[in-house]
Amino acid sequence: MLIKRPKGTQDILPSVVNKWKAVEETVSQAAEQFGFREIRTPVFEETGLYVRSVGDTSDVVTKEMYTVSSKGDDTFTLRPEGTAGVIRAMLENGIMNEGFPRKVYYIIPCYRHEKPQAGRYREFRQFGVEMAGSASPYADAEIILLAATVLDGCGLENVELHLNSIGCPECREKYRSALREYFEPHKDELCPTCNERLGKNPMRLLDCKSPICKEIAKDAPIITDYLCDGCREHFEKLRKILDGYEIKYILDPKIVRGLDYYTRTVFEFISNGIGAQGTVCGGGRYDGLISELGGQPTPALGFGMGLERLILTMESEGCEFPPAKTPDLYIAPMGERAQEKAALLCDAVRRAGYAAEFDIIGRGLKPQMRYADKIKAKFVCVLGDNELDSGEAKLKNMRTGDEKAFKLEEFIGEFHNLLIEELFGTGLGDALADSIGDLPANTVPPETNGRN
């Protein structure tokens, strides 16, 4: 029996990898444009890191971690999110001392033992950014603008920004008491999870999905009425900056986020087109986390964007993805002598920077042409004894069916010009060839093409 992939994971097959590459390219380009540099950290960390940062009342820590114990007493957890490991790495490697603001981004797989459904997986990929060292609302606006730029760059038009401030530990304590007071009379009607959370983390009751809890929560006090002066001013200034950028947002006091480290600004970008798991991106400020993890008190913030959800949303909005790359050339040899020549030609074509393949099975012409069609080769060159003896062959444009005869010793130059014409239009081949001196710098005709 075939072994199947673990529940909640996905195989990203060659036929869809172009979508992933395009998205990864878009997100990294935008991050770099905003001054973020890539960071790569281990897939697993000491379990204590997540307990201390993500928080011991969060679903992630209480229910969803993939934890293994290694030889000895240490326990390690597959990373459920990016922030904790990245801040750990920044502290451990002295990156915080290199001047503020420090800005990093990452594209990582994450692991959470959740109940799989559309848009929710046990292994998923996140694009995330973290910025340390600025308490200014301009930093919050930069982060939100970066997320909006990415979504825009992906062609999305129907993703809404939901914005809230959950204040600092001081204003939040007053708010928590108000929430407890509000929910206490309904205690027996709440779902078991909310009932349990009421004591330790009553704010999470606000994002419970159970219809009864939702109904009860409808008239609950809202955090923005409890913000202290500092937090209120921060939030007002942020809103003003976002208005200046003409970024539309919905003030949403129900956005409280599932991870415990947040302070002040929290936000989510939500798509309505992909079902219940519509939060494509979530983030906010976490001014207390760096000191919690042993660093100097340093304000910080960031976001995580689920790449599966991003691609699902792009598909639901009919966004275009760049087509998968196809080979520039397929050489179809007939017979052993031709195969030897095909191998060398193919090598020369690749060294000139193009994607080329030739038959390495020893098939007849028909199956070779079928294969060339299947891999969507742009040009095909058939090589047999006739071509080798006469020193002339034909290059066939597979889109138009046009064939052009050429001297084998001028193969690379001919191919180069034909390909440029195919990609950029007639006439451009010659013009480009004139302006760049015909051949790529490293192109040498195959006969003299020896490696040093």
Window contacting ligand HAM (CB under 6 A); options: 147-155, 282-290, 311-319, 323-331: 282-290
Give the count of residues interacting with ligand HAM (CB under 6 A): 26
- Residue 112 as a binder of ligand HAM (CB under 6 A): the answer is yes
Q: Report which of 44, 76, 64, 54 is spatially closest to residue 289, judged by C-alpha positions.
A: 54
Task: Looking at 184-256, list the stretches that DSSP marks H as alpha helix, in order from N- to C-terminal side.
Answer: 192-200, 211-217, 229-244
Q: Is the CB of 278 or the CB of 333 nearer to ligand HAM?
A: 278
Q: Report which of 382, 424, 385, 423 is spatially closest to residue 404, judged by C-alpha positions.
A: 382
- Residue 111 as a binder of ligand HAM (CB under 6 A): the answer is no
Per-residue mark of binding to ligand HAM, 233-262 (x: CB under 6 A): -------------------------xx---
- Residue 298 as a binder of ligand HAM (CB under 6 A): the answer is no
Strands 392-397 and 75-78, by their bridges, are unpaired
How large is the angle between the packed helices 428-436 and 411-424, nearest 10 degrees? 120
- Residue 150 as a binder of ligand HAM (CB under 6 A): the answer is no
Q: Do the beta carbons of residue 163 and residue 267 sit within 8 Å?
A: yes
Q: Which of 202, 282, 288, 446 binds ligand HAM (CB under 6 A)?
A: 282
As measured in angstroms, the least distance from the Cβ of 118 to ligand HAM is 10
Cα dihedral across residues 39, 43, 47, 51: positive or negative: positive
Backbone dihedral angles phi then psi of residue 38, each to the nearest 5 degrees: -70, 145
- Residue 308 as a binder of ligand HAM (CB under 6 A): the answer is yes
Distance CA(187)–CA(69), nearest Å, equals: 38
Distance CA(164)–CA(361), nearest Å, equals: 62
Task: Looking at 123-219, list the stretches that DSSP marks H as alpha helix, in order from N- to C-terminal side.
Answer: 137-153, 169-183, 192-200, 211-217
Q: Is the CB of 109 or the CB of 253 nearer to ligand HAM?
A: 109
Q: Which of 30, 171, 208, 281 binds ligand HAM (CB under 6 A)?
A: 281
- Residue 287 as a binder of ligand HAM (CB under 6 A): the answer is no
- Residue 77 as a binder of ligand HAM (CB under 6 A): the answer is no
Helix (H, G, I), strand (E, B) or coil at 273: coil
- Residue 417 as a binder of ligand HAM (CB under 6 A): the answer is no
What single letter denotes the amino acid at residue 352?
A: A
Window contacting ligand HAM (CB under 6 A); options: 144-152, 304-312, 398-406, 431-439: 304-312
Per-residue mark of binding to ligand HAM, 115-134 (x: CB under 6 A): -----xx--x-x-x-x----
As measured in angstroms, the least distance from the Cβ of 331 to ligand HAM is 43
As measured in angstroms, the least distance from the Cβ of 115 to ligand HAM is 9
Helix (H, G, I), strand (E, B) or coil at 4: coil
As measured in angstroms, the least distance from the Cβ of 328 to ligand HAM is 36
> What is the DSSP annotation of 51-87?
HHHT-TTSHIIIII--EEE-SSS-EEEE-S-SHHHHH
- Residue 85 as a binder of ligand HAM (CB under 6 A): the answer is no
- Residue 45 as a binder of ligand HAM (CB under 6 A): the answer is no
Distance CA(104)–CA(96), nearest Å, equals: 11
How large is the angle between the packed helices 192-200 and 169-183, nearest 10 degrees? 140
Per-residue mark of binding to ligand HAM, 165-184 (x: CB under 6 A): --------------------
- Residue 114 as a binder of ligand HAM (CB under 6 A): the answer is yes
Q: Is the CB of 127 or the CB of 175 nearer to ligand HAM?
A: 127
- Residue 83 as a binder of ligand HAM (CB under 6 A): the answer is yes
Q: Is the CB of 114 or the CB of 392 nearer to ligand HAM?
A: 114
Helix (H, G, I), strand (E, B) or coil at 301: strand
Cβ neighbours of 362 (radius 10 Å): 11
In SS3 terms, 330-345 reads as: EEEECCHHHHHHHHHH
Q: Which of 303, 330, 358, 415 binds ligand HAM (CB under 6 A)?
A: 303
Window contacting ligand HAM (CB under 6 A); options: 79-87, 343-351, 389-397, 411-419: 79-87
Q: Is the CB of 308 or the CB of 357 nearer to ligand HAM?
A: 308
Residues that bind ligand HAM (CB under 6 A): 81-83, 112, 114, 120-121, 124, 126, 128, 130, 258-259, 279-284, 302-306, 308-309
